[in-house]
């Protein structure tokens, strides 16, 4: 347990100590004056920053800066820090780091609003993590991609189509069927993914969809 009697100005001064071991010890200290921890955000020693990102007493504004740390292990600790507040989560959601957004899915502090944003994330990896970690029926519905498959002959005419499916169909089986249907002529198999299974979304006749 840290000595709570150590004056704050002494701890702030230790953030500039020449020894990285001293600065690492300070980065792990909890409780510690916020100003002492903030002084370590850009420490030249990545192990200091690593310890800081894992410190449960790290100020949220320091965590915000650590999101863009050049060291992956430092960034990866930020979503799991209990001091990661709404501002920190919002910054992670905006991050270009796909894996960092993926890790946020598994943070215990993740709120329903953030989870809903992640359900629309451009990364299949992130959306897949949301699907695996939620039982919210509305979110699961939003995560479904409906797939339509069409088979065209060598003239471009539609030979057959199928769908909608919630998961990608077995294209190998469809190619076998297409080969039979078109009398061994060259064929083209296309898959189209839609966020909805309605005829309006597919731009086809209503008889080609469920709704």
Q: How far is CA 172 from CA 35, 148, 154, 179, 194, in A?
A: 61, 15, 18, 11, 21
User: What average pLDDT does the structure give for the chain?
Assistant: 80
Q: What is the mean pLDDT of residues 137-145?
A: 76
Q: What is the mean pLDDT of residues 104-114?
A: 88
What does the block give as tokens for 207? 């008889």
Task: Give domain limits for the chain.
Answer: 146-208
Question: What is the reported pLDDT for 3?
Answer: 61
- The pLDDT of residue 211 is above 50: no
Which residues have a Cβ under 8 Å from the Cβ of 126 and sit 6 or more positions away? 98, 101, 102, 105, 118
- The pLDDT of residue 13 is above 90: yes
Rounded Cα distance, 182 and 175, in Å: 10
Rounded Cα distance, 103 and 71, in Å: 16
Instruction: Label residue 179 by pLDDT band (50, 70, 90).
Output: very low
Number of Cβ within a 10 Å radius of residue 111: 11
Instruction: Label residue 10 by pLDDT band (50, 70, 90).
Output: very high
- The pLDDT of residue 147 is above 70: no
Question: What is the reported pLDDT for 131?
Answer: 84
Instruction: Label residue 102 by pLDDT band (50, 70, 90).
Output: very high
Rounded Cα distance, 124 and 75, in Å: 21
- 142, with CB counted inside 10 A (0-12, 13-18, 19+), is middle
Give strand pairing partners of 148.
192
Q: 144-181: buried (b, 16+ CB within 10 Å) or exposed (e) per residue?
A: bbbbbbbbbbeeeeebeeebbbeeeeeeeebeeebeee
pLDDT tens-place string over residues 38-88:
999 999 999 999 999 999 999 999 999 999 999 999 999 999 999 999 999
């Amino acid at each position: 347990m840290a000595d709570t009697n150590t004056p704050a100005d002494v701890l702030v001064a230790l953030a500039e100590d020449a020894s990285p071991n001293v600065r690492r010890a300070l980065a792990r200290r909890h409780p510690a004056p916020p100003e002492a921890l903030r002084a370590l955000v850009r420490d030249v020693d990545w192990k200091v920053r690593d310890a800081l990102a894992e410190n449960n007493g790290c100020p949220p504004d320091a965590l915000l800066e650590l999101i863009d740390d050049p060291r992956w292990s430092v960034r990866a600790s930020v979503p799991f820090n209990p001091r990661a507040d709404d501002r920190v989560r919002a910054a992670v959601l905006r991050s270009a780091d796909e894996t960092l957004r993926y890790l946020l899915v598994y943070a215990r502090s993740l709120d329903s609003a953030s989870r809903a944003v992640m359900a629309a994330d451009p990364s299949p990896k992130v959306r897949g993590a949301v699907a695996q970690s939620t039982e919210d029926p509305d979110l699961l519905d939003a995560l479904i991609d409906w797939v339509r498959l069409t088979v065209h002959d060598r003239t471009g005419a539609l030979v057959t189509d199928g769908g909608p499916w919630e998961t990608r169909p077995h294209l190998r089986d469809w190619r076998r069927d297409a080969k039979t249907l078109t009398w061994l002529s060259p064929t083209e198999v296309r898959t189209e993914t839609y966020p909805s299974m309605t005829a309006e979304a597919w731009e086809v006749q209503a008889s080609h969809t469920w709704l």
